[in-house]
Structure 1
Amino acid sequence: MSKSFESLSDKLRSLGVQTGLEKKLARPEKRLGIEDVVSGIFKNTSCGPVFCSELSTENTYTHGKVAFQAEPIHHELIHWADSSLSSSSLDLESILFLDTETTGLSGGTGTIPFMIGVGRFTGDIFTTYQIFLRNPGEERAQLELLYQFFRDIKSIATYNGKAFDAPILKTRFILNGLPSPFDGLAHFDLLPLSRRLWKRRLENRTLKDIETEILGFQRSQMEVPGWEVPLLYFDYLRTGDPTPMTGVFYHNAVDVQSLAALFLYINRMLTRLDTDREIPPVDILSLAIQYESTGQIDRAISLYERLLEIELSEKHNTELRLRYARIMKRNGDFSKATTILTSDEGGMDTQRIIQLAKVLEHQQQDIICALEWTELALSRLEKSNQVDTSILLHRQKMDLLKRRDRLKSKLGKMDD
């Protein structure tokens, strides 16, 4: 019996079959967790643990061409964020820079911020924290930890946060029956301001465009495009493999740092506006228009005066002179308005000529000169008709023909 068993075992062994004690069970491979691929720790809350990554800059850190150095916040920047705030009520360390990565871009109750990135300054050190959901069941713990980061915070800074990040987070707090930390805070949403400041220079003004073209920062090969972020998270939930999420953590961390760098860049533009000759003239024009649009007319006038002595493109020079002349017209200084419109006659375009004709006719009662400028504008439009048949051009031409007829009628009455 023993011999026959040994013979059978030998035959099985010869076929590559393991028998009895020889058979060794394969050890299951250890499954990677997010903590194995991203530096961070699990923080305990009353709702359980939640993963949080922490990254601090060195005190000599430069983001592109923006040095991370603490400085007072310019009173105009505070005023543009919230006109009710005083310039002494905020400092850099009381601002929380915030950016979220979500399961979708549409908002609403079905959109979950699976990663919440926040950053704040302590002196010249900027620390970024990223609170990550390993699964949606950790959301209450995530929100509870986020609430703790709002201690001693007086304002948040975002990029499109008023329309996206803040409403989504407020909704998540409500749905989870938790108090919102956003109540009573000032909000620096840098997207609308960036659009106004750089629309004359940049066709696209996403945060990534701003950081490349304005801040001079280039992302590394770890970067993943924003549209891919939700897909990577869904893959992580499906497969449990956290490796691709390293690119998402990098993407979010750079977003938060770029947000802080952009805030510093705009703040320094305002602080050094009268002394820094390196600020592009077109950016000064945008700032002047921002001052005008917020009712700070005297400041806008001083910048418009300065820009009259600086070379601008024909398009921007026209915009400058039309805006400045319009202010002078409202102030009743029609002579100054005329001077602004004509001081570089060789570079005048049709829009400036039309505005000048209006001033000469209605305010200065100079009918002869008004007619001459109207004729010149019509001549310009006739040439433009050869390449532009737009409705706007047609309307301008019809308005000028009516103006010419009216001026000629006034001249006829004067001769009588």
Structure 2
Amino acid sequence: MAATGIAHRLRASWTRRDTPRATSADRPPVSLDEAVPGEEVRTAQGRFYRIRTVWPAEGRYGGEVLRAFTRVRPSSLTFLTDDTSLRSFDPRRAVFLDTETTGLAGGTGTYAFLIGLGFFDDDQFVIEQYFMCSFGEERAMMAHVADLIAGFPSVVTFNGRTFDLPLLQTRFTLNRQRRAAALLDEWDHLDLLPPARRLWRESLPNCRLSSLEAAVLGVRRRDDVPSWLIPSIYLDFVRTQDARRLRPVFTHNRYDILTMVALTTYAEQMLARPLELRPGQPRRGAEIAAIARLFDHRRDTARSARLYAAALQQALPADLRVKTLWRLSMARKRQRAWSAAAELWHRMLDKEPELVLPALVELAKYYEHRRPDLMQAKELAMRAYELWQRAPGGPGAQLLPSVESSRRPFEAALLHRVRRLERRLARANASRPQPPRASGHD
């Protein structure tokens, strides 16, 4: 299947956007089955609507093979998330969960009217969507969802830890399905939002799933509907039973699930191939810098330094280039590669106005302790002090860990350094041998 095949099939499920404000006499309502072909499921607890969509597991979405997710290593997920509970995550038996709701506030007044579940079944990737045509169908729908998810020990969501799972726990509890509510706490849960923020928050305007889908996977949604509009579309359907505006809601839900599959695989490949997007194709500098930051967080200084240096060889947004240059200098400092670190700090003085203050501070330390030149150290510390007095909390201040909200401790520390250097210089001068005085005789 072509790289864009799945996205094409999603778009083909409905051909144009039609969003009337209300059903009129000359425009008869569109039935749910006509708008979104599926089936009505009847159980002892009531009825609900189900749509089942199937893709070949070898199909691609955003350039990523769907089945590749089943080979994702739990160690990679633990590294990306800092969540050690994911060591037991089983990607072959994971379910992808995404809900569409009547509001974003959560609580007992918010319903999940559409629950999408994606999973691998032999050579297929299946998305089943469960929909309640009225609020009275919730109990039957939730019972069926509970039966399905009981077979999966692992779950993948996007912001599910703070929204989807608490909401479903509330709905299960209110419907007296307490075993299902307890099961949600037992899952190995991969919430993709935190690792997405770690990887892309410094290079993208936001980390919404649709934004990541476009910027990272290269998929541009067409005929989609904004998330904020979905609750009103559903409530309008409940009132009018006209389903014509529901079609993009189901498509939106499927897009979200497919994006979670591809994005997880893409993120793991960033760890496996930090310098290459594909064999022979260099990775974007912003992503290399993000991977470096992950290794930096884990105190793998040698690897983070190599990746920071590699990122600086690529095009970077101006603000990210400044941060990456500073982080590289700190990595060199931790490696005790003093000359390399000092070279970077001197470069900042000459070419990076936003880094002058922190560079002055680090160079003052360097010339006091590592390459003793007390006069140079004093001059640098004095420049830093004067710069801070002119613009307290100005450019580069946020990079200095000793800066506190009051700003006074940092200013006092700078002044203390200057005074200490003055005393050391005075002692050095006093201990220096004095030339002999003239005796007054020939």
Normalised TM-score (structure 2): 0.75
- Say if 1:317 and 1:377 are closer, same or farther in 2 by CA, change over 3 A: farther
Residue correspondence of structure 1 range 121-160 to structure 2 within 5 A: 121-122=120-121, 125-160=124-159
User: Corresponding residue for 1:268?
Assistant: 269
RMSD value over aligned CA atoms?
A: 3.2
Is the Cα contact below 8 Å between 2:64 and 2:266 reproduced in 1? yes
| 1:42 maps to which of 16, 36, 40 | 40
User: Corresponding residue for 2:60?
Assistant: 62
- Say if 1:368 and 1:346 are closer, same or farther in 2 by CA, change over 3 A: same
| 1:282 maps to which of 286, 290, 300 | 286
Give the Cα separation in 1 of the matches to 2:319 and 2:339.
19
Give the Cα separation in 2 of the matches to 1:321 and 1:366.
25
Q: CA deviation at 1:136?
A: 1.0
Give the Cα separation in 2 of the matches to 1:398 and 1:248.
58
Give the Cα separation in 2 of the matches to 1:122 and 1:269.
27
- Say if 1:36 and 1:317 are closer, same or farther in 2 by CA, change over 3 A: closer
Give the Cα separation in 1 of the matches to 2:262 and 2:288.
19
| 2:424 maps to which of 399, 406, 410 | 410
3-state DSSP of counterpart to 1:163: helix
Is the Cα contact below 8 Å between 1:97 and 1:118 reproduced in 2? yes
AA partner of residue 295 (structure 2)? Y
Aligned residues with identical type, % of pairs? 29
Is the Cα contact below 8 Å between 1:70 and 1:124 reproduced in 2? no
Range that drifts further, 242-251 or 151-160: 151-160
Normalised TM-score (structure 1): 0.79
User: Corresponding residue for 1:208?
Assistant: 210
3-state DSSP of counterpart to 1:266: helix
Range that drifts further, 308-317 or 254-263: 308-317
AA partner of residue 151 (structure 2)? D
Is the Cα contact below 8 Å between 2:59 and 2:65 reproduced in 1? yes
Is the Cα contact below 8 Å between 1:361 and 1:367 reproduced in 2? yes
| 1:184 maps to which of 167, 183, 186 | 186
Residue correspondence of structure 1 range 219-298 to structure 2 within 5 A: 219-221=221-223, 223-273=224-274, 276=277, 278-293=282-297, 296-298=298-300
3-state DSSP of counterpart to 1:218: coil
| 1:33 maps to which of 28, 31, 34 | 31
- Say if 1:30 and 1:49 are closer, same or farther in 2 by CA, change over 3 A: farther
Unaligned runs of 5+ in 1: 1-28
- Say if 1:123 and 1:399 are closer, same or farther in 2 by CA, change over 3 A: farther
User: Corresponding residue for 1:367?
Assistant: 374
User: Corresponding residue for 2:195?
Assistant: 193
- Say if 1:103 and 1:168 are closer, same or farther in 2 by CA, change over 3 A: same
3-state DSSP of counterpart to 1:104: coil
- Does the alignment pair 1:96 with 2:95? yes
Is the Cα contact below 8 Å between 2:91 and 2:154 reproduced in 1? no
Is the Cα contact below 8 Å between 2:292 and 2:308 reproduced in 1? no
3-state DSSP of counterpart to 2:220: coil
AA partner of residue 185 (structure 2)? D
Give the Cα separation in 2 of the matches to 1:40 and 1:328.
60
Give the Cα separation in 2 of the matches to 1:249 and 1:304.
45
Give the Cα separation in 1 of the matches to 2:175 and 2:97.
20
Q: Higher Cα Rg: structure 1 or 2?
A: 1
Unaligned runs of 5+ in 2: 1-26, 350-354, 431-442
Give the Cα separation in 2 of the matches to 1:287 and 1:306.
7
Count of residue correspondences: 377
